Amino acid sequence: MEALIAALGAVLGSDAILTGSAIQERYQSPWTRLGTPLAVLRPASTQAVADSLRLASAAGVSVVPWGGRTGLVDGCLADGALAISLDRMAAVEAIDSAAGTITVQAGCVLQTASEAAAAQGLLLPLDLGARGSATIGGTIATNAGGNRVLRYGMMRDMVLGLEAVLADGTVIEAMSPLIKNNAGYDLKQLFIGSEGTLGIVTRAVLRLRPAPVSQDTAIVGVEHFSMLPRLLRRLERDLGGALSAFEVMWASFHDLVTTPPARGRPPLTGRYPFYVLIESLGGDVAGDATRFEAALAAALADGEVADAAIARSTSQREAMWALRDDVAQTAREGPIIAFDISLPISAMEAYVAAVQVDLAARWPSLGAPAVFGHLGDGNLHLIVRLADTTPAVRRAVEDVVYGPLQALCGSISAEHGVGLQKRDFLHLSRGPAEIALMRRLKLALDPRGVLNPGKVLPPAPTLLGEQP
């Protein structure tokens, strides 16, 4: 290891390698386990990343990519491995206003890229709670979702081209800025959502959109789940494609974020089983506001909405979003597990009810899970308080939440990735042939298994007939 560190130092410079206490002084995370890496590498160029991986691979030493370290599935755990951070590769390289693209280095923080686009009158659509720390490389590696997927799609839908480094140091330059490019295999897709197991993204070309000039926001109360999909489809139709957010909060979550010690307060006077945060982004301030209010008035008249509060100022809009983003309140009564799943909207009501019943039967003192999410794109978050923190109890809770998803064609991970925490449940969302193909891709691109080992894929069978 000393020889490897010396060789890396010759390539990167000694000041680009952190060891011992210097790692903890610079890199921490309240969100995910980082472990104790052998060292943290801080390359300043794509070539330096390539040289680092070439040397590590030759030595058979694992490398774990670190982005903003805001993941929730232990995808950054780097015990006994080299961690590699691209925080010195954080530049916005170019913005092409005519083409509507931005070229950035992977260590660029999402908020920095968004603000650079906004300064040119353009919108980088990706938006999530960790916008101030999540990096572009990390959001690509996890195929991040967030608050605007309903309108603009996942991160995958914004990536036009990227540059990535394979485990052996080979640089893949797939930096095409074209929306249409059917010239052979779309190699960038190998790295989007691969969680750093197939290569390390170093640069990217992202698609931008015109910045909206109108932003209309409301919170509505809904009496019955059956009204939610009806309301969603009405708004998609009546708002002419401008609907950008349809965030549903079950009463269990709404009550946590609107009662002390939470700072938020209920925007509606009545109490409802469901609350929906609705937002529309458009290009006509007066016309869009009129259309927004008319759509809500029609929903009220037809009984899809029981009450509504429309934001009349920026502060009111921010207060509404603050309720949805105040996830920290779910942990105020003790340890929790945060689940990120997706399933057909038609199956959600029965699924949540069944999970609540099962949890209450096994752990009567837990209380109902807090439920909220991007219902418009089929993504729910369930926050379950733990009876105790032993691995056996955690696994039992995971079985309750994940178990029904296979029969519902659901996913154990909507937007957070698999990492370490969900890999044992991957078979519930992916078939045997899919997992086998994933292993073949991993073997082809990383034959020595040095890139983020142990993440995403469960251990492979070692003997004929042996179960993984």
Say yes or no: 99 and 206 in one domain: yes
Which of 171-180, 318-327, 453-462 comes out lowest in average pLDDT? 453-462
Say yes or no: 51 and 126 in one domain: no
Say yes or no: 341 and 424 in one domain: yes
Q: Assign 165 a pLDDT band (cuts: 50, 70, 90).
A: very high
Tokens of 47: 């070539």
CB neighbours of 291 closer than 8 A, spacing ≥ 6? 238, 239, 240, 242, 280
Is 462 part of a structural domain of the chain?
A: no
Place of tokens 């307060």: 265
327, 361, 395 - which closes a domain? 327
State pLDDT tens for residues 22-74.
Answer: 998 999 888 889 999 999 999 999 999 999 999 999 999 999 999 999 898 99
Q: For the chain, what is the domain count? A: 4
Is 467 part of a structural domain of the chain?
A: no
Total-model pTM: 0.93
Instruction: Look at residue 282 and tell me whether its pLDDT is greater than 90.
Output: yes
19, 52, 85 - which closes a domain? 85
Cβ pair 296, 218 in contact under 8 A: yes
Q: 379-385 and 370-373: which strand pairing?
A: antiparallel
Number of Cβ within 10 Å of residue 4's Cβ equals 17
Say yes or no: 226 and 199 in one domain: no
Say yes or no: 104 and 190 in one domain: yes
Is 451 part of a structural domain of the chain?
A: no
- What are the distances in angstroms from CA 301 to CA 270, 293, 298? 17, 12, 5
Task: Report the Cα 255 to chain-centroid distance in Å.
Answer: 25
Task: Report the distance separating Cα 231 and Cα 295, nearest Å.
Answer: 10
Task: Report the distance separating Cα 356 and Cα 384, nearest Å.
Answer: 10
What range does the domain containing 237 cover? 214-327
Cβ pair 339, 105 in contact under 8 A: no
Task: Report the distance separating Cα 468 and Cα 466, nearest Å.
Answer: 7
